[in-house]
């Protein structure tokens, strides 16, 4: 019983450490560019609600840790709230009381405000590239060739003409370099025909294979639905081990960010075209479940303590990088209340030569809040189903 409590506490600590670190870096992106442009920042907060710790810096910014640690914000002078929507009365008061208003975010050129807003998601992408890079710098990567072993009877691969011993060299005009590239291409194309080229007997053979949507386990044991051919890696497949220096590791991390963004965009697009049900999308509950499961599994393993810590850090580096990409992507959605919504408003201002009226912005923020609440409900339902699959 005591050990179970310790596992729960350790999981909670790891979860909040990961989330707080990602949020801090996101908000630091906003803050850093704002200070670069010498804008006045009233508060930098990790979490919402009542502060449990705060300190005011010489710049006048209050740094705080608040009691609801599931978010964060940078509040500029003249903001109505944490979403940085302008407070017209506060801005009028600033105009009347200050002779110099050049340090006020809402009075700066639209391109500067856009850069400040964009800096948060960009910071998450940069952090993800660094985390992915640290992981491969640490242990390197192994790349098995895309050599087919067993072909499941009645599978998509059998129906498409794939045979044991085939080596996949191309899919939809894209060169396939290893098994992982092949698997990732297939997983996001369930029900969609893939023009596949295999090498058979030293000669290329063109095939059309349509992956089937199959329920499977992800890397922490949760259930997910994805496209599958129905093949296994050949035991005769050759592996390429790659080692990295800091420069090549960072390049690898940057490519991983690009691949993750591309996969996310493809998945969202398939939802809108009815090819995916959207159940793979999750929110804070799923993140908590995944970090908790990883932490407990590693803690319960029978490996030496040093190796357990090493394995946990490696998995958390990759998991944190993936979540950081997701956080940056989500914030770029064109929904008022999010960074992407602000960028839409600034785009209108740049084209029209004047900002959207205060009333219309307020309507937009209310609409955005409604959308976010609806998304939260849908994602929570998805998360409950996912957590249930972990426990079953």
**Catalytic (active-site) positions:** 27
State how far the alpha carbon of 216 is from the alpha carbons of 165, 180, 186, 273, 387, in Å: 24, 16, 14, 22, 14
Query: How would you class 266 by CB atoms within 10 Å of its CB: exposed for 0-12, middle for 13-18, buried for 19 or more?
Result: middle
Distance of CA 193 to the CA centre of its chain: 28
**What span, in angstroms and rounded, lies between the C-alpha atoms of 263 and 223?**
19
Q: Kindly give the interhelix angle for 284-300 and 358-391, rounded to the nearest 10 degrees.
A: 30
Checking phi first, is residue 78 left (phi over 0); if not, alpha (psi -120 to 50) or beta?
left
Task: Reduce the DSSP state of residue 127 to 3 states and report it.
Answer: helix
**What span, in angstroms and rounded, lies between the C-alpha atoms of 121 and 100?**
30
What is the b/e burial string over 183-193, where b = at least 16 CB atoms within 10 angstroms of the residue's CB?
Answer: bebbbbbbeee
CA-closest candidate to residue 115, choices 23, 62, 22, 36? 36
Q: Dump strand ranges (E) for the chain.
A: 41-56, 62-76, 141-144, 148-151, 167-171, 174-175, 194-200, 203-209, 212-217, 223-228, 231-233, 239-242
For the residues of 136-193, what is the DSSP string, one character each?
HHHH-EEEE--BEEEE-TTSHHHHHT--TT-EEEEETTEE--SHHHHHHHHHT-TTS-
């Amino acid at each position: 019983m005591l050990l179970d409590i310790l596992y729960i506490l350790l999981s909670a600590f790891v979860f909040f450490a990961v989330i707080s670190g990602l949020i801090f870096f996101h908000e630091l992106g906003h803050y850093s560019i704002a200070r670069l442009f010498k804008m006045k920042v009233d508060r930098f907060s990790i979490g919402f609600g009542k502060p449990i710790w705060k300190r005011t810096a010489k710049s006048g910014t209050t740094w705080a840790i608040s009691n609801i640690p599931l978010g964060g914000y940078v509040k500029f002078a003249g903001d109505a709230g944490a979403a940085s929507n302008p407070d017209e009365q506060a801005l009028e008061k600033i105009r009347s009381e200050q002779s110099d208003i050049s340090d006020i975010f809402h009075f700066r050129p639209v391109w500067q405000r856009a850069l400040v807003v964009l800096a948060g998601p960009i910071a998450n992408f940069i952090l993800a590239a660094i985390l992915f890079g640290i992981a491969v710098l640490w242990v390197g990567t192994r790349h098995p060739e895309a050599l087919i072993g067993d072909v499941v009877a009645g599978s998509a691969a059998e129906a498409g003409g794939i045979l044991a011993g085939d080596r996949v060299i191309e899919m939809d005009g894209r060169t396939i370099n290893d098994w992982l590239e092949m698997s990732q291409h297939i997983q996001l194309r369930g029900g969609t025909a893939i023009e596949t080229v295999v090498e058979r007997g030293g000669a290329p053979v063109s095939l059309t294979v349509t992956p089937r949507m199959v329920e499977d386990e992800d890397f922490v044991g949760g259930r997910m639905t994805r496209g599958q051919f129905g093949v296994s890696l050949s035991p005769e497949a050759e592996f390429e081990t790659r080692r990295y220096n800091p420069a090549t590791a960072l390049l690898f991390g940057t490519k991983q960010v690009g691949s993750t963004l591309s996969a996310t965009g493809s998945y969202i697009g398939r939802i809108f075209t009815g090819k995916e049900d959207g159940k793979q999308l999750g929110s804070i509950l799923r993140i908590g479940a995944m970090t908790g499961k990883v932490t407990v599994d590693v803690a319960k393993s029978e490996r030496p303590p040093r190796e357990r810590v090493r394995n946990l850090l490696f998995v958390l580096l990759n998991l944190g990088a993936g979540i950081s990409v997701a956080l940056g992507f989500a914030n770029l959605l064109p929904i008022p209340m999010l960074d992407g919504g602000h960028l839409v408003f600034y785009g209108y201002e740049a084209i029209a030569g004047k900002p959207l009226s205060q009333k219309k912005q307020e309507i937009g923020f209310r609409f955005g809040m409604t959308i976010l609440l609806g998304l939260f409900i849908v994602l929570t339902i998805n998360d409950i189903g996912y957590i249930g699959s972990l426990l079953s």
